[in-house]
Amino acid sequence: MTVIEQPHDEFVRLTGPFRRELLTHCYRMLGSVQDAEDLVQETYLRAWRSYQDFEGRASMRTWLYRIATNACLNALRHGSRRVLPAGLGGPSTDPNALDPRDPEIPWLEPIADEQADPAAIVAGRAGLRLALIAALQHLPAQQRTVLILRDVLAWSAEETADALGLTATAVNSTLQRARARLDRLEPAADEIAEPAEPERRDLLDRYADAFERADIDALARLLTEDAVWEMPPNPSWFAGRDSVLRLLEARLRGARTRLVPVRANGQPGFAMYKDGEAFAIQVVTLRGQAIAAVTAFHDSALVERFGLPARL
């Protein structure tokens, strides 16, 4: 007996496999996992409402990306770009005089590798690295969109033009401006090259051990000279090894901390527990055999969203 597939079941079967990559696409556009999840839901709702009119002139994947992209562009028209502290002003110098936390600023968020599209994680710098996501937020919405479609998703100029209602000439011109601006914002590929796996694991193990013991001398040996430390939602940030070490000495003194390895934005990271309570997610940027940057998102709820308990 032949089973006739119902429209809804057919829709779920055909569109379901694209959910994770659409979430990753919306995250690149918006810089927020929660906002991206909302926009993916909206994308699927819009797609279902118009599914009966889908004629297959474009692939299902292209059709869904077109819907998601336009939903993100509409959201960007009514929202503010997400930032990291370094995007707001100059670095701080006094670890004992931190600016007050500002939860009203739309902060950039990390994405757990388990949530993201595996292909984006493999792509590394071209996909999800935190520095790239932060830099993208500084581009105007149309430049951001064109650059993601052309350089990250490898769409042709014609496909991008069709999705955005532009000409191919306008797409190429916009892409050129976006690339030029991004080159000024994002580190070059050789500046963020990670060591091979055994060296990388050893470096991260030594960092976690030194951090948990508050061993400032050991941490000094692991940081690059121009290391950067950010900790949203606190607007203060610190640049340079000496400045970062003064911060860590002030913050870790007398603290009982534990670091649990995680992966975020295709990069190594840690869930930080303070006195047994979830405290932060650290995203670590490596350069060669040292640590070039740590972005510590001081949000206990993030730890649970990375699938870890609120208390150890």
**What residues pair up with 63 in beta bridges, in sequence order?**
none
Phi then psi for 203, rounded to 5 degrees? Answer: -60, -45
Contacts of 242 (CB under 8 A, 6+ apart): none
How large a percentage of the chain has pLDDT more than 90? 71
282, pLDDT greater than 70: yes
Strand, coil or helix: 125: helix
Quote the mean pLDDT of the chain: 91
pLDDT score recorded for residue 168: 95
Classify strands 267-274 and 290-297 as parallel, antiparallel or unpaired.
unpaired
pLDDT score recorded for residue 252: 93
Strand, coil or helix: 64: helix
- Contact (CB, 8 A) for 39 and 72: yes
- Contact (CB, 8 A) for 260 and 109: no
How many Cβ atoms sit within 10 Å of the Cβ of residue 32?
Answer: 22
187, pLDDT greater than 70: no
Domains of the chain in start order, with CATH, are 84-96+105-129+192-312 (3.10.450.50)
Is the pTM for the entire model greater than 0.85?
Answer: yes
The mean pLDDT value for 280-296 works out to 95
Banded model confidence at residue 185, pLDDT cuts 50, 70, 90: confident
pLDDT score recorded for residue 4: 54
Classify strands 234-239 and 290-297 as parallel, antiparallel or unpaired.
unpaired
Q: What's the pLDDT tens digit per position in 54-90?
A: 777 778 899 999 999 999 999 999 888 899 999 999 9
pLDDT score recorded for residue 3: 45
